[in-house]
Structure formats: structure tokens, C-alpha cells
Amino acid sequence: MHLPTRYATKFTAAFISLLAVTLLFSLAVHSQEPAQDKPASAAPSQSPAPAPKKLGTELDDRSLITNTDLITLTVTVTDTYGRYVSGLSKGAFAVFDNKQQQEITFFSDDDSPVSVGVIFDVSGSMSGDKVKRARDALSKFIQTSHDSDEYFLIAFNSRAQLLLDRTRDGDSILNKLTFVETKSQTALYDACYLGVEKVQRGSHSKRALLLISDGQDNDSRYTFNELRKLLKESDVTLYAIGILSGSDAGSAMGMEGQGVLDELSGVSGGKAFFPRSAAEMDDIFEQIALELRHQYSIGYKPDSFQNDGKWHRVKVKVTPPRGLPRLFVRSREGYYATAGAR
């Protein structure tokens, strides 16, 4: 059909108008589609950035899980005269987990600070000059310790009490012990239990307890076996200083107290001392402070780690460099295979 020119022009204009309206409507509908339907790579640069992850999200959990099977050991090396041996390389050490040698993946001999729990017996059995002698000797420990060490002070008689929580002021520890009164029964196991819990929340990865007592317990809720198991599970090293008078040393109770302190310190990789004089006590406190500053930190990931809760016995051996005599190693005896068993 042939239209006159004026009708053809009107028809063309109407068609163009209709086409424009249709196109605009299509664009409007497309622009309202949800943004997530678009491919991520095509997102415009002006799109808002995703919100930052909060602590405890999946990313943080992954990084924590990665290291849960890392076992760390604090190792003390001495010579035949009891002197600390520093400067050994990683190659001088061998670690055996249930008699299987492991690859050492972490090694350090830095003079690093320690979180120290000072557990002081103020029960009736510490009467006389025992407390004063122990406090005076404790000042030697603080003077010799690392400047960045942090301290927790727990005093105990019939109950354990936290007197100072996380301080780097060693003088405040001594001041708190200046006017203590000795009385009542002895809850030694409860005090050590509290000490382990406190230092495990400390700022430093190296953790130790300094127990000053005659070793007698007669008023704790926790038992000896419960405390012993806790020390085996933890990475806290216990050093015990038995404050015994002349009559204590040969008595049945004195012998029992020495046995308790020996066992608790030994299972944690620490040591018990029983000074017989004020001068010897000063030397011992200074010796413990020096030991904490001359220790090695060794870490490894056990082969085929299984989170089964079983006890793994650990043995650390050291091969002395040529020309050195036999060396002695002290560390904790093992660990329970649970997630986070550091």
C-alpha cells in the first residue's frame, strides 16, 4: 500500500516515538535488577566495599586451628657442675614423642620475659623467721629477673588469695609480703591450682610458678593427684623452695613435704630446692631467675597428630659440641593429645 508523503512522515514519527518509549522502559526495568545477579567480576568499581571481618570469624578460626597441634617445650640444659649452657644450635637437640623422633619446627634461645606466679605460704607452719627469710631471698630473684617479667602474687593459708594480679613492679610483691601474718591451716594444692590458671592467662609464652612453702597441705579442696595432672597438662614450670627448719628436715612431716615438692616440680620440668641457710636460699632464688633467662624453647608438630586425649611421653636429648662434657636436659615429661595442647 502506498501512503501519501504527509501520512508516511507522521507514521514514521509515531513509530520512532513508540520505539524510544519501549527502549527507555526496558532500560528502567534492567537497572532495577538485584545487584547479586551480576557476575562478581563485573561489579562496578564504585560498589561499596565489603564490611571488615570481626574477631572470631572464619578467617581467625582457621589460623587458630592451624597451630593447635604445635607442642612447645621449655628446655633447661646444664653441665656436670649445674651451670647453664647457652648458645647451642637447633641441631644439638633431638625430640622424641612416644619414642618417635620428631622434626623441630620452632627453636629459640632468646632471653625472653616470663609470666611468673609467686605462691607464698603464710600458714601457721611458716611461723618464726621462715617468712622473713623467704621474703629477703625473693628480692634476689626479682633483682636477677628479666625487666619485662610480669608477676602474680598468691598467698595462702586455709585458702588461696590473689594479692597482686599481673604487675611488672617487683617491689610491690615485696611490699605486700612485709606485714603478712602466719596463721591457720595450709591449702597448698588450691594455691598452686590457682597459680597455674593465672599464669596461663599471662602475657608471655614462658610461664613459671615459684612456690615457697614447707610442702605440707592439710586444707585443700583439690587433691595431690588432681594438681599433679594439671601440671602435666599445662606448659607451666614449677620451682619449689622448701622452707624447712632444722627440726623439720628429719621429721616424718618434713620428709613428706619434701616428697610433695619434689614430685610436683619434677612432673612440670622444674626443680625443688631445700636450702639450709639464708645464704644458700639467696643463691637458690638467684639461680632460678638465671635459669628462666637461659632456657631454650623448642616446638614441633607430632607426626599423625590425633586429638584423642592420650598421654604422650616426650624425651629431649642433647648432643654436646665437640670438646664439651656430658650435658643434662630438663623439660616437662609429656602432654595429653588434645586440641591446643601446647
pLDDT digits (tens, 9 = 90+) for 305-336: 788 888 999 999 999 988 888 999 999 999 98
Spacing of C-alpha 147 from chain mean position: 19
User: 331 Cβ partners below 8 Å, 6+ apart?
Assistant: 73, 74, 75, 76, 269, 314, 316
Q: What is the pLDDT of residues 96-120, one digit of tens each?
A: 999 999 999 999 999 999 999 999 9
Give burial (CB, 10 Å; 0-12/13-18/19+) of 297: middle
Measured in Å, how far apart are the chain's first and last C-alpha atoms?
Answer: 94
Residue pair 198/117 in contact (Cβ under 8 Å)? The answer is yes
pLDDT, residue 206, reads 95
Q: Is the pLDDT of residue 128 over 90?
A: no
Q: What is the mean pLDDT of residues 47-75?
A: 47
Residues 81, 239: Cα–Cα separation, whole Å:
19
Which residue ranges form the domains of the chain, and what is each CATH number?
69-109+310-336 (no CATH), 114-293 (3.40.50.410)
Q: Render the burial of 29-49: b for 16+ CB within 10 Å, e for the rest.
A: eeeeeeeeeeeeeeeeeeeee
8-state DSSP, 139: H
Q: What is the arrangement of strands in the sheet containing 71-78, beginning at the earlier edge strand?
A: 104-108, 296-300, 71-78, 328-330
- State the pTM of this model: 0.77
